[in-house]
Chain A
Amino acid sequence: MEILRELKALFGPRLLTKEAELAPYESDALTAYRERPLAVVLPERKEEVVEAVRICRRHGVPFVARGSGTSLSGGSLPVRGGVVIALNRLNRILKLDPKARLAVVEPGVVNLEVSRRAAPFGLYYAPDPSSQPVSTIGGNVAFNSGGAHCLRYGMTANHVLGLEVVTPEGEVVRLGGEGLEGVGPDLHGFFVGTEGLLGIALEITLRLLPRPEAYHTLLAAYPSLEAAGEAVARVLRSGLLPGAIEIMDRLAIEAAEAAVRAGYPKAEALLIVELEGEREEVAEGARRLAEVIAESGAEEVRIARDEAERQAIWKGRKAAFSAVGRLSPDYIVQDGVVPRTRLAEALREIGRLSEAYGLRVANVFHAGDGNLHPLVLYDGKRPGELERAEALAGEILRLCLRLGGSITGEHGVGMEKRAYLAEMFSPLEIAAMEEVKAGLDPLGLANRGKVFPPKEEAHA
């Protein structure tokens, strides 16, 4: 094929076309979906990314940009017959300017690496998706990744100051700049979260924050999930603004215990609240938090006395997702959002649905952000269970919408939630999104088939 010849000329041995070479790229972290690409290219410089996009465009071949492949929505699933542009080798931090509190990075830089490099200057990069030891900034930008601190600090979009982007037509544009303030439309803010449909980020300018002087991390055990949810409402009513508020239910606690021996108390629900900021302020906040928690009906309260104990508390939480794999051969992770004040209601309803469907649901979630992560456990080898699990997961998304929330807080729509976009947005709204897409990508090449509800399954 002509396109392969051109890509070969450009990439040489960094063009992968053999079956065994392509296999690792066939799916991302949502392994239920698999697709064989035509080829994978491994650019090492941004100019090669631009050239790859231009070659694809000349031949009308779709392409998908991919980082570490940690998408939980199938966002980096290859398009059949398309090219995967794997960006892991574009992993340089091009500039770290502590005075300006910013870093300019390539898209393949791993999230946690930014904070690691900023640490000697007392700075860090705030968005911390659970995948942060592996996921890349390029992917975080495409999906507007969140993490545990979004109430206080916002999502990836809030920490991107500027972008260099190659559009699907192969034009290179600069959006935003290097400062906190700009003039004119926030195009870089708009690009973040468009899931690779409007182009590929080549360089990303990130805002860095000073690392908080002190943390206060509290773990409280509750006799029910609802009691933990009610405690969250109490904390927020008190006027405190924690950096993170997390909840895990009994299933998730057991899984985390089994996986990393976090040393959590045995309980129906655990609440983690973390205050952060200047030492004196955190100490005063901790006093108030203790009063609030004392009145919340907690069965046991632990305070991290040092950084090691703090890390131990977080280790279990961050491991909970993958740990649930130990409880069940298969599971679906959901990512719905509800208004914080409806959390208890949402959890009650999820419990009811779980019973009605006869499937276990483990709950690990960012309570401060109203972002639920119900894990629907099933056994794919039992006939009909996958379909039941998918139906249950869908019910949960509809529940989130009914309560005034969103179908996705941080994983994006990808392949997985395409059908639900139309339940959150009107046909006119989806048409407007599609028109923007068509304007920038008339041939529909960039991450084709993602986000928008499938029309007729013409390609089937």
Chain B
Amino acid sequence: MLRPKTPEEVQEAVLAHPRLRVRGGGSKPALSGPEEGEALLDLSELKGVVEYDPEELVLVARAGTRVAEVEALLKAHGQHLPFHPPLSAPGATLGGTVAAGLSGPLAQRFGGVRDFLLGVRFVDGQGRLLKGGGKVVKNAAGFPFHRLMVGALGAFGVLVELAFKVFPAPPATRTLRVAFPSLEEALSALERLLLAPLDLMALDLLPPNALEVRIGGFPEALGPRLEKLKRLLGRDGEVLEEDEAHWEGVRNLAFLEGPLLLKVPSRLDLIPLLEGLPLGRRRYLLGGNVLYAEGDGEALKALRARGLAHLVLKGAEDPLFPRPQNPFFQKVKAALDPLGRFPLR
């Protein structure tokens, strides 16, 4: 196993091996387990925060840096990563989060990982150390290679350094949990919330019939905002005042234990269909825009039979469905990884 400590060592490793698979913290084993003939490039030693000035609202760190470490640093300055990287406790790294393209429940408020990544340095398939984007929140110079890396499973290169926009964390939070008589009623309440002028930190659907809504902000304003929410939902529900631990559990996907751990892009109108599939425990995040579920071979078969895109984080050989095949992907891939060293070859 290769365990580079510097970008230069990553370059050497890439040039020395015809086929590679990158692992960060190993929290998404379906994505970081080497296939036959692949050398494992373990980035857990390529770590550390490179730049962080709280006033700048930007953080730059090496790809193998653990999300948990970064979040502890940010928290000490009243800030956070608003896209809420999943699987922090099991060891997710910044690079792995970007490569897998994952965002947690709090992404409801300001957007997901693609919205907070400002720039990257990466080693492409020719061993070149390249930069995409920058370290400022606004940037329109050059091809945005950083955005190409989001969700690419390492297909275009090995991430070595990432720059993120960070935000002040809300000083106080509350969570409202409301159950409805049926899925239909829960969905119609969800729709109402999506169209209301509300700033929701998280908006989750817990099948079969409950919603969890988190709000955050100045403590003085939370009471009236909560009342407004209840009026809109026509129900009182249950209020969690100490809700931090609860959402930690959600973003760590601790409620999922099945043999397979799945991410399934979703939509409000797809939910009734998804609810008919043989999936295990599950939760829809981001106002119904994404489903995290446990499942087994049957679940996988059902999703594939219906042509529903998904990513397996744990428990399958072939994690991405469908595999990108259009000529746009193929040509970008051929330019950056002409020898097919990286996944999705």
Contact = CB atoms under 8 A, between A and B. Distances in A.
Given A100-B268, A341-B56, A432-B336, A409 B138 contact: yes
B195 A98 contact: yes
B268 to A, nearest CB: 6
B138 A340 contact: no
B136 A281 contact: no
A66 B108 CA distance: 35
Contact of B151 (A169, A186, A233): A186
Contacts of A285: 218
A436 B152 CA distance: 16
Contacts of A409: 136, 138-140
A158 B148 contact: no
Contacts of A281: 199, 217-218, 221, 225
Interface string B294-328: 00000000000000011100000000111110111
B266 A179 contact: yes
B145 interface: yes
B168 A239 contact: yes
A171 interface: yes
Contacts of A440: 328, 331-332
Contacts of B324: 184-185, 187
A429 interface: yes
B145 to A, nearest CB: 7
Interface stretch (B34-42, B65-73, B127-135, B243-251): B127-135
A189 B328 CA distance: 13
A405 B134 contact: yes
A339 B53 CA distance: 10
B128 A184 contact: no
A42 interface: no
Interface stretch (B12-20, B111-119, B174-182, B205-213): B111-119
Q: Report which residue of A173, A288, A339 has the largest number of chain B beta carbons within 10 angstroms of its beta carbon.
A: A339
A412 interface: yes
Interface string A129-158: 000000000000001111000111111011
Interface string A217-241: 0000000000000000100110111
A408 B22 CA distance: 33
B311 A432 contact: no
- Most B CB within 10 A of own CB, among A187, A241, A366, A370: A187
A144 B144 contact: yes
Interface residues of A, number: 99
B140 A183 contact: no
Interface in A219-277: 233, 236-237, 239-241, 277
Interface residues of B, number: 85
Contacts of A424: 134, 141-142
Nearest to A337: B136
Contacts of B114: 157-158, 186, 189
Interface in A365-404: 366, 369-371, 404
B267 interface: yes
Contact of A183 (B147, B168, B309): B309
Given A236-B55, A239-B168, A122 B139 contact: no
Contacts of B269: 99-100
A182 B101 CA distance: 8
Interface of B: 53, 55-58, 78, 101, 103, 107, 110-112, 114-115, 124, 128-131, 134-145, 147-153, 155-156, 165, 167-168, 171, 191, 194-199, 217-218, 220-221, 224-225, 228, 263, 265-269, 286, 289-290, 309-311, 320-324, 326-329, 331-332, 334-336, 344
10 contacts: A143-B140, A153-B110, A180-B290, A199-B328, A210-B195, A404-B136, A413-B141, A421-B141, A436-B336, A438-B335
Given A186-B101, A193-B140, A440-B332, 14 more contacts: A123-B195, A155-B138, A158-B115, A179-B265, A179-B289, A182-B101, A183-B265, A184-B152, A283-B221, A337-B134, A340-B55, A405-B136, A412-B140, A433-B142
